[in-house]
Structures are given as structure tokens and as C-alpha cells.
Amino acid sequence: MPKIGNIELGDFPLFLAPMEDVTDSPFRVICREYGADVLVTEFIAAEGLIRDAVKSNNKMRFEPAERPIGIQIFGENVESMMKAAEVAEAANPDFIDLNFGCPVRKIVMKGGGAALLQDIPKMIRMTEAVVKSTRLPVTVKTRLGWDDAHKDIVDIAEQLQGAGISAIAIHGRTRAQLYGGEADWTLIGEVKNNPRIQIPVFGNGDVDSGPKAEEMKNRFGVDGILIGRAATGNPWIFREIKAWLASHSIPPPPPVTERVGVVRRHLEASIQYKGERATLYEIRKLYSGYFRGIPNFRSWRMKMVTAASTAEVLDILAVIEKTEDIQA
């Protein structure tokens, strides 16, 4: 049974992969209720934590029901990452996660995220420094390498283990791929099956169903799986995957009333968490997922996306609940 430090995760844990402006606390709570075993915050800039920036501090907030949860930090300066880990530790998460995989240009150009894949010695120094600066377990999220010519993850994983991390999560793409093409799990499997690797190895990339999760588990032997884009507006994917792994059954899609209830809860909790303006903007990207597969829904989605207030969205949801031609 895999552990992060002394944290028991269950036989085959499903993680909600961190995604900027998606996996905030209100959405994480919902995913937990539908079966996510481990949660991680949106990534947080080390410099923002050191400067006590409001947005960075808000990203660290979580509810007791979200445990076990990790706070994910990123940065390009070793000392800043050490200080940020100390700030994150004070928020009392279960572990600290280091982001060495974000491929977004604005992050990479500043030397953070996947940029560290071009400077492995610095990545290892940074990891060692953070491990020494906190009493909490430290984990790493990264990629196969910088590009096809530098898929160095097998060696990188050994070095990170030597630096003291408690687990590693690997996205099956290079930084050069961004999110294009298919995720390649073969090197993730090589890391997991490397006899010198003694820490849990979690895989990430393109898992969007129970059968796909089972395939990755059986073919590559990973200790658990991260679900990212497939969970966007689709928290019930965790329930579906767990049902498939347990009994090869797939629960029926949630009815419209359940979906409306989840969106309503998400909206209301998010307003309390980050205010109406940010809520209205960020939740728009989730409507397609929340109502995927519902017939005759496109016009309703457009109304929700263009709504000028959350009160207007709530009014639209109330009508959707009673509209027969969009009932699943």
C-alpha cells in the first residue's frame, strides 16, 4: 500500500492533479466527495508566498475534509523555494509538492516548472534544500524530460529519491509536447519497475475512464494515478474509475438535478472562497464538463457563460432543473 511519508493513501489512490484556476478548494471538496483520494492545491509561486501576496495565501486555504492534501509550490530560486516551503508548512498541509513539470511559457521563461528539466543539478539542489527545510514529506511532480532528445526521467527519479523525496508523480509527456499528442507511459513504467526506486511512483496523462486507469495500473505497475483534464467539470470520474476497478461496472451518468446541485454548491462555495468576480470568470470553463452528454444544452451553456452575475447563473440553474427537454 503506497504512502507519502507516514500518510496511508489506500491500495491504488486516485489524485486530483493540480490545475491553475480549476482545482481550488471548492472544487477539490467536490472531487473528494466523489472519490478522489489525494488532493493538491493549485501551484503557488514561491515568491508570492515570501511576499505574503493575498492570492498566493488564498491558494493555500483548504478544508479539513480535503486531507490528505499537499501544497504545491514552484520557483526558480533555491533559497526562495526553501522559504516558501516553510510558509507552506505553517498552513499545516500533509505534504509539500514541488512543481518541476508545468510547461506554460510564462512559468518556464522565468526558470520555474519544467524549466528545471534543463538544469537537473539545480533541480536536485533545490529538492535537497526544501527537504531539509521542512518536517513534512516532500513530493515532486514532473515530466519525462525537456524534449524527445532528453527523456531523462529514469535517472532524474533516482536522483530525486536520493535528494529525499517521499514520492514522485510523472506526466507522460515532455515539456516540448505541452499537452499535445498521446502520453507515453512506458518510461513511467521503467521508473516504477527500476529496482533502485523505493518510493511510490504515480502516473499522469490521458486517463479519462475506468478501463484506461486499469490498463495503466496493470501494464505499468504504478502505485496510483493523477486525473487532471478529465476531471475538469467532471468530479464523478473518480466514482466511475473506482467502480470499474472494483467490479468492472460503470455507474450511470448523474442526472441533471445532481449536476445542477453540484454546480450550485460550487458557485456558492467559490464566492465565499474568492469572491464573485473571480468565481464568475473561472467557473465558466467548467460548465461544458458539468453538463457533458446532456441533450439540448448548448444554448443554456451560452446563457451561463455570458451571465453578468452569479445570481443570474443561479436563476438559470433553477430553470434548467425544471426544463424537461434537457433531462438526461
pLDDT value of position 328:
46
Give pLDDT tens digits for 35-62: 999 999 999 999 999 998 888 999 999 9
Find, among 116, 156, 100, 163, the residue nearest to 137 by Cα: 163
pLDDT value of position 327:
52
Domains and CATH numbers, the chain: 3-247 (3.20.20.70), 256-326 (1.10.1200.80)
pLDDT value of position 207:
97
The span from the CA of 26 to the CA of 29, in Å, is 5
138-143 and 69-74 as β-strands: parallel, antiparallel, unpaired? unpaired
pTM listed for this prediction: 0.94
pLDDT value of position 296:
83
pLDDT value of position 326:
62
C-alpha cell at position 280 = 464568475
The span from the CA of 198 to the CA of 149, in Å, is 27
| CA dihedral for 62, 68, 72, 78, sign (positive or negative) | positive
Q: Which residues are catalytic?
A: 102
Q: Mean pLDDT of successive 10-residue segments in the chain (328 residues)?
A: 94 96 95 98 95 91 96 96 97 98 92 95 98 98 94 97 98 92 95 98 97 97 97 97 96 93 96 92 92 89 93 93 66
How many residues are given for the chain?
328
